Amino acid sequence: MDTKFIQNNIKTSSIFILLVMLFFGSCTPERINEQSLDANPGVPDFTVEAVEGNANLYVVKSNTTNAFQVLWDIPGGVPKSSVKALDTISFPKAGVYKITFFASFNDGSGTGIASKTVNIAEDAPLTCNPKYALLTGDCQPAGKCWGLTTAAAAVKVGPTYDQVGEWFTSPVGGLQNAQYDDRFCFRFDGFVFENRNNGGSVNPWDGYNVQAVNFGVSDFVFTEGTGTNGRDQITLQNDQFMGTWDADNVLDVMKLTKDELIVRTKLRDPAGIPVEGWFEFTFVPN
């Protein structure tokens, strides 16, 4: 989010949001380091269930109530890893996939590990339905890129999901140029997502300075009806985002037309853990 916008338009309340982020960030454990996991103290409980009507989509759910942190490792899945207790995983290609679940227990006994496999019989059908067409540019090979609008309300931020009257709104042209030149691109073939930031992204954890970083190409999942209040969702890989760097990778689609994409997502800390507060971003094709 732009420094001028914060200082001149929502100074008091953005300080509140920042304090909330810092508080929850300091209280939230860091992501599990997959390279230095503790020995298995026991077998954590989880389920893997197919989504009815979609043979390539599964819901993974932690049933381990005494864990302070969880991690899913799902090579070949989309997303291929997750730190959410409940998540939806897509398997675009046929094959046998291993789902490994790590749970760090509250009692300090260590990290439990368990795994299951799923057998995907067929590749996901590449049917260009109307929603995919809107998001990806009629499913053409070039895909479609979206950027933050220069109009008012490109970025909104608030403490709760639905009480938008309490949210703060960016003014016309109120963001940094380094935010307006970011492009978030979707390609239907292979479900490819690319964060084209023109060489730099605004770092909200470093004084909103522009940092040279390349987020590269990953993948995405578009699911219908899996979001809040039955909204559609876009799920990016854990290290990706749309809008601002401190936005979560799971986005509820509030509006999707040929000329406008509005999404709502949680704030997250530098470790990628969701914290209190919500963003809403308005994008236009670029």
List, in order of start, the domains of the chain with CATH numbers: 3-26+127-285 (2.40.128), 46-120 (2.60.40.10)
Q: Are 4 and 11 in contact (CB under 8 A)?
A: no
How would you classify residue 125: left for phi > 0, otherwise alpha for psi between -120 and 50, otherwise beta?
A: beta
The per-residue pLDDT for 224 is: 86
Q: Which amino acid is at 78?
A: V
> Among 133, 128, 129, 137, which residue's Cα sits nearest to residue 285?
137
Q: What span, in angstroms and rounded, lies between the C-alpha atoms of 258 and 33?
A: 41
Q: What is the DSSP letter of 78?
A: B
Q: What span, in angstroms and rounded, lies between the C-alpha atoms of 140 and 266?
A: 30
The CA dihedral of 130, 136, 141, 142, to the nearest 10 degrees, is 140
In sequence order, what are the residues at sequence separation of 6 or more whose Cβ sits closer than 8 angstroms to the Cβ of residue 101? 44, 46, 60, 62, 70, 71, 72, 73, 113, 114, 115, 116
Taking only the tens place, the pLDDT of each residue in 202-255 is 999 999 999 999 999 998 989 888 889 989 999 998 899 999 999 999 999 999
What are the two backbone dihedrals, phi and then psi, of residue 93, each rounded to the nearest 5 degrees? Answer: -110, 150
The per-residue pLDDT for 268 is: 95
Taking only the tens place, the pLDDT of each residue in 77-92 is 888 888 889 988 989 8
Taking only the tens place, the pLDDT of each residue in 159-206 is 999 887 789 999 999 999 999 999 999 999 889 999 999 999 999 999
> Among 116, 115, 111, which residue's Cα sits nearest to residue 36?
111
Confidence of residue 260 (pLDDT cuts 50, 70, 90): very high
Higher local confidence (pLDDT), 100 or 36: 100
| Full-model pTM | 0.67
The per-residue pLDDT for 72 is: 94
